[in-house]
């Protein structure tokens, strides 16, 4: 790479003048991304998709050509044991996996590519997840699905197609199943609140040049209900019998039906 003089790859090229057959072998033994060397120095496709990448990748590619109608064929396989980065949907820690290109030059893959993620934080931290995906023509990414354990239940990323080649609005929808209310509240540091119950719901998220936000998200309590309680100190002066009764009621509320609406900027206040 000319700007930083970083060694990116070793390339071995062979071309036979007699029959116009040739091949190029590309070897990437170790490519480290640092504060000084970021992916956008290699390709503009990463701009607006990832930033602050830290970690190492390795792999190899092969390009074959001849004078037939088959033209050029290219394949490649690259892997990482752990990348940290900032994505449009929040910071990612410990992204690991291998990607196998069916067309290296066009950056296309077959289905069923997988990555594991130690932590992702799209407003609420989730750990030990896996995403299945495929890279399509014209720099599009087909998300086949994702899954994380979450607050005693599961968090699923629903299938979608993302355009990586444009500064466009991107939409992701997460489905929540079987979340324990008490564990969920600990994600938000509500020290003065306790709760019980199990919830399901949807968290639609929109990402654009202004960041990410939840739009029209909701959690619905399962049949059987649960309880809510405010266990902190009440900072008010004595306001009479009925007011005191109302505040004391907050210390133990049982519910049969409860829906929690969620909206807001994931980098600010949900």
122: pLDDT strictly greater than 80: no
Among residues 191, 269, 199, which one has the least CA distance to residue 230? 191
| Reported pTM | 0.84
191 three-class SS: coil
Distance CA 214, CA 206 (A): 7
The CA R_g of the chain, rounded to the nearest whole Å, is 25
Rounded distance, CA 140 to CA 134, Å?
9
Per-residue buried b or exposed e for 181-209, using 16+ beta carbons within 10 Å of the residue's own CB: bbebbeeeeeeebbbbbbbbbbbbbbbee
Instruction: List pLDDT tens digits, range 3-35.
Output: 999 999 999 999 999 999 999 999 999 999 999
Residue 193, pLDDT > 70, answer yes
Condensed to tens digits (0 to 9), the pLDDT of residues 208-244 reads 777 788 899 999 999 999 998 887 666 556 667 787 7
């Amino acid at each position: 790479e000319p700007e930083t003089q970083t060694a990116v790859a070793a390339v071995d090229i062979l071309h036979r003048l007699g029959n116009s057959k040739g091949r190029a072998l590309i070897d990437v033994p170790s490519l480290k991304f640092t504060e000084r060397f970021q992916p956008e120095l290699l390709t503009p496709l990463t701009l607006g998709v990832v930033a602050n990448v830290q970690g190492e990748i390795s792999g190899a590619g092969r390009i074959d050509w001849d004078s037939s109608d088959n033209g050029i064929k290219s394949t490649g396989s690259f892997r990482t044991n752990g990348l940290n980065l900032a994505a449009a949907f929040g910071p990612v820690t410990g992204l690991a996996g291998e990607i196998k290109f069916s067309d290296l030059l066009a950056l296309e893959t077959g289905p069923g590519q997988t990555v594991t993620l130690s932590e992702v934080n799209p407003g609420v931290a989730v750990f030990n997840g896996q995403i299945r995906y495929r890279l399509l023509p014209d720099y599009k990414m087909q998300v086949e699905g994702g899954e994380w354990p979450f607050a005693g239940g599961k968090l699923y990323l629903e299938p979608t197609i993302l355009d990586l080649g444009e500064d466009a609005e991107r939409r992701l929808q997460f489905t929540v199943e079987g979340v324990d209310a008490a564990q969920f509240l600990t994600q938000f540091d509500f020290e003065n609140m306790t709760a019980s119950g199990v919830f399901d719901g949807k968290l639609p998220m929109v990402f654009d040049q202004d960041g990410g936000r939840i739009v029209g998200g909701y959690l619905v309590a399962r049949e059987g209900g649960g309880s809510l309680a405010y266990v902190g100190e009440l900072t008010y002066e004595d306001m009479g019998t009925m007011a005191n009764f109302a505040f004391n009621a907050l210390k133990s509320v049982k519910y049969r039906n409860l829906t929690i609406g969620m909206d807001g900027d994931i980098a600010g206040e949900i």
